[in-house]
Amino acid sequence: MRITRVLGAALLTLGLAAGPAAADSSPSDSSPPGSTPSPSASDGASAPTSAGTSFRTATEIAQGKTATASASTGDYLYWSFPADVGRRPTVRATVKLPRSHAAQTWQVDVYDGLRRRQACQYGAQTRTVEPGTGSVELACVLRTVRAWSQPWANDPLPGTYYVRLTAVDVRTADLGQPVGARVRVESKDIGGPAAVDGRLAKPLVPGVAARTQAETDGKSEQSAEPAALSGTEPDGGWSSGWWSDRWVWTAIGAALAALAGIGGYALTRGSGRPSRMPSQGS
């Protein structure tokens, strides 16, 4: 009877530990009945139809949206997107080529908020197409974004990421030919296995300095205003920090260890009282 009570208490503990994880993974379930959830920022935003030509003019795109752009062979095309802790971003790019062209090599690169080039875990980051090929598809799967890293490491950290798409080793005859680009960014939630101890104070989001022109005594002077952060932000905002499903697995492991200890004790203690040893006569 005591074993049954202990097992019931352990199962109740497991249910209480898994409750916060379920609430965290499906926040929309907590809305009152009959209410309509408000659309996120990316749902109402239209996909951009242009690309920047440098890091500072990169076009902001939301994850899950397909951005398009018309350009010329030889141009550098830039987009930016946000990536949060525990996510593994995947960048896919498709370039529609003109009917007649020589062999070309296209490449997509991804940089973090410090403009450090991030290595692709897998995917066709660079491809060479034969003459007359209609399109080329590229992909880059980044490593999982970490909450914290050593200063000398090149680990991906939360913040703004840049996508650069361009053709390399282009012949002079192909420069300036019209091309069409399409870029889409998606992320996979890795969760607890990517959790680390430590966290950045703020995500690596570049500041855009705003300046105003003031005319004084016929001379143009510049007065700097406080820098404004980039508008890119994940749906639901940046990760607040302390919660991770690693807490759930830790609680489950502790409960299983307790159950194993109780079961082992119940099996080894025996069911009856120990028999008395007969006294030895002299």
Which residue did the predictor score with more confidence, 272 or 42? 272
Confidence of residue 54 (pLDDT cuts 50, 70, 90): very high
Q: What is the pLDDT of residue 194?
A: 60
Q: In the prediction, which pLDDT does 149 show? A: 79
CA distances for 91 relative to 56, 74, 108, 143, 204, angstroms: 20, 21, 9, 12, 19
Helix, strand, or coil (residue 183): strand
Find the mean pLDDT for residues 186-214.
67
Mean pLDDT of the chain, nearest integer: 75
Cα distance between residue 64 and residue 87, in whole Å: 14
Architecture of the domain delimited by 41-205: Sandwich (2.60)
Question: Which is higher by pLDDT, 165 or 259?
Answer: 165
Q: Is the pLDDT of residue 273 over 80?
A: no
Q: What is residue 229's predicted lDDT score, i.e. its pLDDT?
A: 47
Structure tokens at 12: 């109740």
Give the Cα separation of 25 and 48 in Å (integer).
29
As a whole number, mean pLDDT of residues 203-231 equals 51
- The model's confidence at residue 106, banded by pLDDT at 50, 70 and 90, is very high
Q: What is the pLDDT of residue 207?
A: 65
Q: Taking 80 as the threshold, does the pLDDT of residue 277 lie above it?
A: no
Given a cut of 80, is residue 196 above it in pLDDT?
A: no
**Three-state DSSP class for residue 213:** strand
Q: What is the mean pLDDT of residues 45-67?
A: 90
Distance CA 45, CA 65 (A): 9
Residue 248: per-residue pLDDT: 72
Across the range 218-229, mean pLDDT stands at 45
Average pLDDT, integer, range 48-60:
93
CA distance 160 to 115: 10
Looking at residue 245, its pLDDT comes to 64
Q: What is the mean pLDDT of residues 168-192?
A: 89
Band of pLDDT at residue 73, cut at 50, 70 and 90: very high
Please state the pTM of the whole predicted model: 0.66
- 83-105: average pLDDT: 92
Residue count of the chain, please give it. 282
Domain boundaries in the chain?
41-205
